[in-house]
Amino acid sequence: MHIEVIAVGKLKERYWTEALREYQKRLSAYVDLSIHEVPDEPAPETMSAAEQMQVLQREAEKIGKLLRPRDGIVLLDIQGKSYSSEQWSQTYSDLLGEAYGRLVFIIGGSNGVHPDLKKRARVRWSFGPLTLPHQLARVVLLEQLYRGIRIMRGEPYHK
């Protein structure tokens, strides 16, 4: 299975990139993984709702250029569904059975995600009510993908 991670913003700190590389290495035994970073749009601290929607629209257009018609989209969304590791593993297994060309995980920017992307998502996944830095969300995503695959395969990892 090919998994694509599309994330708004760039990882800059070495500790985030090292953690990401570690999970990329672990996942490489199970999936073909690609990560694309989409530049975040400049946005002032205070914006009107219309200005925020324009920022989200421009980011969604960049993300949309990387999507294909047969993609199974999983959107990381604080308003999405929370899963235990076991539940996520089952959901991942179910997604594999739906014959998508690839699974695409989208991590939006600090202003959120445009409603059109939310509508396209097959799954909206929340890591809970906490607000995580986007860099940490990427690491958590890869770790949970790895954990879920290991659980699905009956391999030791989950405790």
Binding residues: 76, 108, 127-132
C-beta of residue 3 within 8 angstroms of C-beta of residue 32: yes
Q: Which two tokens stand for residue 42?
A: 């400049």
Residue in this structure with the two tokens 């990329």, named with its chain if needed: 24
Can you tell me the distance from the alpha carbon of 113 to that of 111, in angstroms, rounded to the nearest whole number?
7
C-beta of residue 24 within 8 angstroms of C-beta of residue 35: yes
User: Would you list which residues are annotated within the binding site for S-adenosyl-L-methionine?
Assistant: 76, 108, 127-132
